[in-house]
Structure 1
């Protein structure tokens, strides 16, 4: 297998539905990330060996950028024609992939995503999947009540 390159994402269409998040690629194809996203704050670490996709919407929530993390299967031309970007991180490294969104590659094929939706100026979703399952997560601001209860 040849090495895969980082690819800058382009703007894709986004539709937030009650049963998932729909993405329309720049080539007109569509995909649906199924399920209502679970909420997370500050950071999230994926299980080992899962495909990880990050979607950051614009403030209107009708378009955004989609990035595959450490994807070694999808050919460059497929990503380029769809508008999906890719970042390949070496073990132990991290990178800010969008303002307010940092991705780190941990030992054991795990990925940690840290996100601040306010800095990102949109909604931040993480989709984690393999051949048997898919999960959706959304980063939300930690509320003042939650922050106070953690300080006690």
Structure 2
């Protein structure tokens, strides 16, 4: 198996639409995360074996940075050409991927995304996918 490395993200155009979230890559292609994101209270733990993408936008949701968490399938060249970043974590590791946004792998199978929204100073979205479906979340302060 090829060893994958961390890749730094670039700022990308984002559109928050009534039917979902659209991100435009540096190469001009777009991806669309369907559905209005469900609200989650500053911390989200995914199910095991899910693909996890974290998008942090400006407060208006017009631009942002996207990170793939533990994606071992996508080659570095593809990530760099699209502007998407990647972080690779071992079991039990935690890393701040953006100011105020931390990801971790408490048991090596699940991903935990936590946001301090005052520090992040924007909106934090988490997209969770597998072969059977996709889910969208926005981390919010529900206190």
**Which category describes the TM-score, using the shorter chain as reference length?**
over 0.9
- String of CA shifts for 1:10-44, please: whole Å, max 9, x gaps: 00110000010000001100010001111011211
Secondary structure of 2:31's aligned partner: strand
Q: Which residue does the alignment assign to 1:19?
A: 19
* 1:138 counterpart = 2:138: yes
Q: Which residue does the alignment assign to 1:55?
A: 55
Q: Gapped runs of 5+ residues in structure 1?
A: 144-152
Distance 2:23 2:116 in 1: 22
Q: Which moved more, 1:84-93 or 1:109-118?
A: 109-118
TM-score, structure 2 as length reference:
0.97
* 1:123 counterpart = 2:93: no
Distance 1:117 1:33 in 2: 22
Q: CA RMSD in A?
A: 0.9
Equivalent residues of 2:92, 2:108 under 8 A apart: no
- String of CA shifts for 1:23-73, please: whole Å, max 9, x gaps: 000110001000111101121100000000000001332100000000000
Distance 2:91 2:7 in 1: 19
Q: Which residue does the alignment assign to 1:28?
A: 28
Count of residues paired in the alignment: 143
Higher helix proportion (structure 1 or 2): 1
Secondary structure of 1:107's aligned partner: coil
Equivalent residues of 1:116, 1:139 under 8 A apart: no
TM-score, structure 1 as length reference:
0.91
The 4+ residue runs of structure 1 with deviation greater than 4 A are none
Listed as ranges, the matches of 1:71-90 within 5 Å are 71-90=71-90
